[in-house]
Chains A and B, each alone.
Chain A
């Protein structure tokens, strides 16, 4: 499908070599990719992971906590990750690279935080995992939580919306316009 320039590009979760500190926020259950990430981490750099997970999988977290350079903080879904992340970002120093891994709703809410503290695009790595995304209804301005279907129904006005690849970074949402009858 044709990609607009506004369509976000997502990459693999791989550490940036030049960074002096790495901060991950993830709501992705794919812990293996986090483990892989820690293995590739350059020496003398620290890592803080904010993880939004359903259950405390002790085994997995123990795996991540093998190194004293790593700090892993877990959060129950919808519970406190935003505040904790903002606190971490506020305390971080220049040269930090942040990685957001999860569905697009989660990713773009985190990007907003990073921008708020002045982190620029070059130091923000996005890794998509999961299909939830926001769709902005062009007719009633509602932001709908949707999956990756190309046609959805607006929760507020009921219009059938075609989800375009036109993406707003400010709203963290794709544009949905009425499907021709």
Chain B
């Protein structure tokens, strides 16, 4: 995988549990341009394994001097976010991938409806810069737990005209049906956050007869940690184990198995791999319910096996 070597040029901590890292290229060259909604993978070496964490870029897409990402410290962290919080300092050198975008803005939409849950707000930071610059019609819905631990809320309240927030500690819950109904034809909805929010939006949109092509989502908080399990590769006669803090995809990569991948968050389906036997704990948003029931495919970037699975690799 082709990477860019970057230095950490600055770290900000707007709220207790979120740090914003600013990266510049080590050779001080301009970084590749990117489109709103893009993310990068940060390469981390944890417990002797290579690990890739995906983070949305949050800086101005027209500013290629630096990249900025926001990292939430999770209490149940599998290592990546606590590593970023505890060990990365100004001046640290990291490897990152080129920006890629699995969550682009639909440029033909008549109206854009952004729905964020928690740290899933990050891709919308660049969306909003773009939508405001081109004066496009949009509204932003942001659901979070605690006002004091929420990043970007204060900025959004100031700059976004149609901004609606739902703080669950104040007893306010996002009502997806109220958001999606009566939107004008040609509207596109974008959702980023926990799986439950995405599934909620998908089912409400389906109920309201929204065409699937008008709905876009990016899964955050895929919860990579889980029970350890063993995998076997039937065709290449290899086997290995997946520790609790690693994904199956990362375990395969560490074994030298080359698997195509895209989002690494269970949304794009590029890494879908055939399963010969074994129970699967599906955690993706890509496979249909029927495909999940059949149990012939797994998305190794997020989904896990129970005890032992045999893959057609």
Interface membership of A77, Cβ < 8 A: no
- Chain B 180-223: CB-based contact to A (< 8 A → 1; otherwise 0): 11111111000000000000000000001111011000000000
With contact pairs A117-B110, A118-B109, A118-B110 given, residues A94 and B187 touching in the complex (Cβ less than 8 Å): yes
Say whether A117 contacts B211, CB under 8 Å: no
Say whether A94 contacts B110, CB under 8 Å: no
Q: Which residues of the partner chain A approach B180 to less than 8 Å between Cβ atoms?
A: 94
Interface membership of B108, Cβ < 8 A: yes
A92 to B209, CA, bound (A): 13
Say whether A96 contacts B211, CB under 8 Å: no
Say whether B110 contacts A120, CB under 8 Å: no
Q: Which residues of the partner chain A approach B108 to less than 8 Å between Cβ atoms?
A: 118
Instruction: Give residues of chain A (98-129) contacting chain B, Cβ–Cβ below 8 Å.
Output: 117-120, 122-123
Say whether A95 contacts B187, CB under 8 Å: no
Say whether A95 contacts B109, CB under 8 Å: no
A-B residue pair count with CB separations less than 8 angstroms: 53
- Chain A 65-98: CB-based contact to B (< 8 A → 1; otherwise 0): 0000000000000000000000001111111110
B82: shortest Cβ distance to chain A, in Å?
41
Q: Which residues of the partner chain B approach A20 to less than 8 Å between Cβ atoms?
A: 181, 208-209
With contact pairs A117-B110, A118-B110 given, residues A95 and B210 touching in the complex (Cβ less than 8 Å): yes
Interface membership of A58, Cβ < 8 A: no
Q: Which of B109, B186, B187 has the most CB of A within 10 A?
A: B186
Q: Which residues of the partner chain A approach B214 to less than 8 Å between Cβ atoms?
A: 94, 120
Which residue of B182, B183, B211 contacts A123 across the interface (Cβ within 8 Å)? B211
Say whether A89 contacts B185, CB under 8 Å: yes
| A92, closest chain B residue (CB) | B185
Q: Which residues of the partner chain A approach B183 to less than 8 Å between Cβ atoms?
A: 93-94
A148: shortest Cβ distance to chain B, in Å?
31
B124: shortest Cβ distance to chain A, in Å?
20
B97: shortest Cβ distance to chain A, in Å?
33
Say whether A93 contacts B184, CB under 8 Å: yes
Q: Which residues of the partner chain B approach A93 to less than 8 Å between Cβ atoms?
A: 181-185
With contact pairs A94-B180, A94-B214 given, residues A118 and B185 touching in the complex (Cβ less than 8 Å): yes
A96 to B184, CA, bound (A): 9
| A116, closest chain B residue (CB) | B186
Say whether A118 contacts B186, CB under 8 Å: yes
Interface membership of A18, Cβ < 8 A: yes
| B206, closest chain A residue (CB) | A18
Say whether A94 contacts B208, CB under 8 Å: yes
A16 to B207, CA, bound (A): 13
Q: Which residues of the partner chain B approach A91 to less than 8 Å between Cβ atoms?
A: 184
Which residue of B181, B185, B210 contacts A117 across the interface (Cβ within 8 Å)? B185
Say whether A120 contacts B213, CB under 8 Å: yes
Interface membership of A14, Cβ < 8 A: no
| B207, closest chain A residue (CB) | A18
- The 3 A-B pairs with the shortest beta carbon distances in the complex, nearest first, are A118-B186, A95-B209, A18-B209
Residues in A lying within 8 Å of B, measured CB to CB: 16, 18-20, 89-97, 117-120, 122-123
Residues in B lying within 8 Å of A, measured CB to CB: 108-110, 180-187, 208-211, 213-214
Residue pairs across A and B with Cβ atoms less than 8 A apart, 10 shown, are: A16-B209, A19-B209, A90-B184, A93-B182, A94-B180, A95-B208, A95-B209, A117-B184, A118-B110, A123-B209
- Given A20-B208, A94-B181, 9 more A-B residue pairs with CB atoms under 8 Å apart are A18-B209, A94-B184, A94-B210, A94-B214, A96-B185, A118-B108, A118-B186, A119-B186, A120-B211
